[in-house]
Copies of this chain bind each other. A is one copy, B any other.
Amino acid sequence: MTSKQKINPLIAIIDTTFSRFNMGNAALQELAAFDVRTVRVTVPGIKDLAVECKRQLDDGADIAMALGMVGGAKIDRQCAHEASLGIQMAKMATSKHIIEVFVHENEARNENELSALFDDRTRKHARNAARMLLEPQWFTNRAGLGLRQGRDDVGGLSENQNVNKKRSQTK
């Protein structure tokens, strides 16, 4: 993490009032440790995230985080799908990354677990957002290692090394 650049890069944090966890706060707290500037906007629900990300990226943000909760009903999952496709469109329109952080309400067994999941996933993704701007090589150094956000990392397959060696000359 360097602090040499004159102007720190800008990360837009977009979250929702629909969510049951203050994801924006968690992201802001986590990003305080990085040499980045932040701007935060809260919108009603997940379908509103994509265009607000686009607006902030058009206005100068270098990367955006789209933070949202997905309800447990079938229609909620369809909304999440539509929201995600909107986010893909916003990335195309801006040529910038948008880190999508969605937590499904039924991913956890109880409210305590759900809070912890919200918090862990949001913070790990926030660190990723900062690293993509400040230290992109961090990711290449960990390619294929099964990193996860909101859960424990699953690790890389043990066979990688052997297979790579064995096959690296074949064509």
Which residues in A have some Cβ–Cβ distance to B below 8 Å? 15-26, 29-30, 33, 40-44, 47-48, 50-52, 54-55, 58, 75, 77-79, 81-93, 95-100, 104, 111-112, 114-116, 118-120, 123, 125, 127-128, 132, 136, 139-140, 142-149, 154-160, 162-164, 167-168, 170-171
Contacts and interface: CB of A to CB of B under 8 A. Distances in A.
B116 A163 contact: yes
A111 B158 contact: yes
> Which 9 pairs between the two chains have the least Cβ-Cβ distance?
A22-B144, A115-B159, A86-B88, A51-B91, A42-B139, A17-B147, A42-B140, A20-B146, A42-B143
A112 to B, nearest CB: 6
